[in-house]
Amino acid sequence: MGDMSNIRNIVILTGAGVSAESGIDTFRSAGGLWENHRVEDVATPEAFARDPDLVLRFYDARREAIQTKAPNPAHDALARLDAGWGGKLLLVTQNVDDLHERAGSRRLIHMHGEHLSVWCTFCDARHRWRDPLLDRPPCPNCGSPALRPDIVWFGEMPYRMDEIYAALREADLFVSIGTSGAVYPAAGFVQSARELGARTLELNLEPSQGSYLFHECRHGPAGEVVPEWVEELLGG
């Protein structure tokens, strides 16, 4: 990966491809999650207002499913990097599963929310949550039946953007793993990182639509290319 001796601060962006080998569907590939659902029918605030049962059923099923899945060697490697890297490191995930934290990653931001969190639209509280929402359970804080998935839908602001851009400003290396680069603002991080002086690397199964924006690309399954890259970085 060229000269790595000057790398101290790292920002890593992950997407659905990092969890694919754990058996969690990606969004846009053939056979992907959204082949059976139109995005605008399930992943917008308008869809939730129009047909809350449809949206809640969709998320109840996925919340249940992720609890039966386990981290794969890509998650494990990123957790080893977090534990072993002396410089700054921030793992920004677009994923709403909890496999990074179950693998042991600590310096982690879920920019698109989490399946295992709910948000009360009445009192604004958030709670850890594993059960279905379809039967409208009361908010543990205010008692209102107003819980929704704590997921960032289209048109909503992703979480903790100030912290993410602050980390990008300090980054010497930006690495994008298993994401198609189709959804903004995450898809724009590579350009921001480059403009701010970072080296940029893509690890993905195949070239993404933004591959040309990276200094270097490595293609292959995350469960193989991520551990290889992490060992290189920790060993070097």
Whichever of 105 and 204 has its CB closer to ligand BJW, that residue is 204
User: Does position 13 bind ligand BJW by CB under 6 A?
Assistant: no
Q: Is 29 in the site for ligand BJW (CB under 6 A)?
A: yes
Contact range with ligand BJW by CB under 6 A, out of 18-26, 101-109, 119-127, 133-141: 18-26
Active site residue 215: no
Q: Are 93 and 100 in contact (CB under 8 A)?
A: yes
Residue 12 makes contact with ligand BJW by CB under 6 A: no
Whether a cis peptide bond, with omega within 30° of 0, leads into 71 is no
List the beta bridge partners of residue 92. 13, 109
Per the residue annotation, which of 75, 110, 112, 115 is the catalytic one? 112
Minimum gap (Å) between residue 45 Cβ and ligand BJW: 10
Q: Which of 86, 155, 235, 236 binds ligand BJW (CB under 6 A)?
A: 155
221 vs 235: CA distance, rounded Å: 21
Looking at this protein, which amino acid is placed at residue 30? Answer: A
| Helices vs strands, H then E, count in the chain | 9, 9
Region of 75-83, 127-135, 137-145, 199-207 interacting with ligand BJW (CB under 6 A) = 199-207
Reference 114, options 79, 151, 72, 146; nearest CA is: 151
43 lines the binding site for ligand BJW (CB under 6 A): yes
- Minimum gap (Å) between residue 121 Cβ and ligand BJW: 16
Name the residue nearer to ligand BJW (CB basis): 70 or 142: 70
Nearest residue to ligand BJW, scored by beta-carbon proximity: 17
* Total residue length of the chain: 236
Q: In which order are the strands placed within the sheet that holds 216-219? A: 108-110, 89-93, 10-14, 173-177, 199-204, 216-219
* Residue 170 structure tokens: 């300090």
- AA identity, residue 222: A
| Minimum gap (Å) between residue 115 Cβ and ligand BJW | 8
CA distance 177 to 179: 6
> By CB neighbour count within 10 A (0-12 exposed, 13-18 middle, 19+ buried), where does 49 fall?
exposed
Whole-angstrom Cα distance, residue 10 to residue 152? Answer: 25
Binding mask 83-122 for ligand BJW (x = CB under 6 A): -----------x-x---------------x----------
Nearest distance, CB of residue 5 and ligand BJW, angstroms = 28
Residue 179 in the binding site for ligand BJW (CB under 6 A): yes
The binding site for ligand BJW (CB under 6 A) comprises: 15-17, 20-21, 26-29, 32, 43, 94, 96, 112, 151-152, 154-158, 178-180, 182-185, 204-206, 208, 221-222
Catalytic residue IDs: 112
